Amino acid sequence: MKMKSLRGIIHIHSHFSYDGSNTIEEWALFLKEKGYDFVCFTEHDDYFDHHKMIQLVEDCKRVCTDTFQAIPGIEFRCKNTVHILGIGIRSYRQIDDPFEAASFIREHGGISVIAHPGLFNKENILQLSHVVDGIEIWNGLKDSRFLPDPRILNLFAEVKKANQTLLPFGGADLHSVNAYFPLDIYLHHGQSLDFENHFTLSPVTIQGRFFRITSGNIRLPLSVLKILRSCYVMSKKIRDNLTS
C-alpha cells in the first residue's frame, strides 16, 4: 500500500509578524480547507520578543489535529546580510550574526534555511552554505509565484558543492490569506511530521502551479526556464507601465 505524501506550505507570516494580516487560527482554517497537512510559520524577528514566542507556540499547538500540524518558527534578519528561517524552533532571542543564528536554530532542534538568497551577496551565501541545512531556491514573493529564477537554481548547484547535504526549499512567503497562491512542499513516504518532532531532513518535492522541483533531482530545462523568465519579467514591466 502506497503511503500518502504530506502536503505543506512554509515561510508563512501571521499577525505575529509586523506585516502579517491573519491569526494562526485563521491561517489554519484556511489551509485545512485547501487540503494541506502542515504549515510552517516563520515570523519576522522585527519587534519580536520571548513573550510573543511563547504565544506563537501555544497558538500553533492549539490548531494542531491528527491530520494537520502547525509548526512555529522565526525569520532572523541578520545584519542586513541574509535572512535565515528557523523552522521548528520554540525559543527566541535577538540574533544579528547569521552563523550564530544557524547555530541557535540547530541547538533548539530546528532547520535553518537561507531565505530568498537572490537578494543577498553571493559570497555570504557561499560562506553560510557550510552551516545551514537548506536554501530557499524558490520564493513565491520575491521570485514570482509562477516560476523559479534560474539564477537561484544555478546558485544552489554551486553552493551544494560545498555542502552535499544541503537541501532546497520552496517558500510561499505569504503575509495574508487574501494573497494566497500554491507553492507547496511535499514530504514523501517514510517521512514523519508532528508538532513536537517537525519534518526531518530528507528529499522533498517543491510544487508550484506550473513547475515541480524534486530535491534529489534538480534538472529543470534551464534554457527554457530562462526564456519563460524573460517573458515573465517583460510582461510584468508592461503591466506596471499600464497601471502607473
Break the chain down into helix, strand, coil percent, rounded to 5. Answer: 30, 25, 45
Residues in CB range of 15: below 8 A, 6 or more apart: 21, 22, 23
Question: In this predicted model, what pLDDT tens digit does every residue of 41-97 receive, in sequence order?
Answer: 999 999 999 999 999 999 999 999 999 999 999 999 998 789 999 999 999 999 999
Cβ(110)–Cβ(121) below 8 Å = no
Question: In this predicted model, what pLDDT tens digit does every residue of 100-126 receive, in sequence order?
Answer: 999 999 999 999 999 999 889 898 899
For the cut 80, the answer to whether the pLDDT of residue 225 exceeds it is no
All domains in the chain, ordered by first residue:
6-243 (3.20.20.140)
Q: What is the CA radius of gyration of the chain?
A: 17
Question: In this predicted model, what pLDDT tens digit does every residue of 172-203 receive, in sequence order?
Answer: 999 999 999 999 999 876 555 665 655 555 66
Q: Which helix (H) or strand (E) element contains residue 58?
A: helix 50-63
Cβ(136)–Cβ(112) below 8 Å = no
CA atoms within 13 A on the CB side of 96: 2
In the β-sheet with 38-41, what is the strand arrangement from edge to edge?
Answer: 69-71, 38-41, 6-12, 184-187, 204-207, 212-214
**Residue 213 and residue 233: Cα distance in Å, rounded?**
21
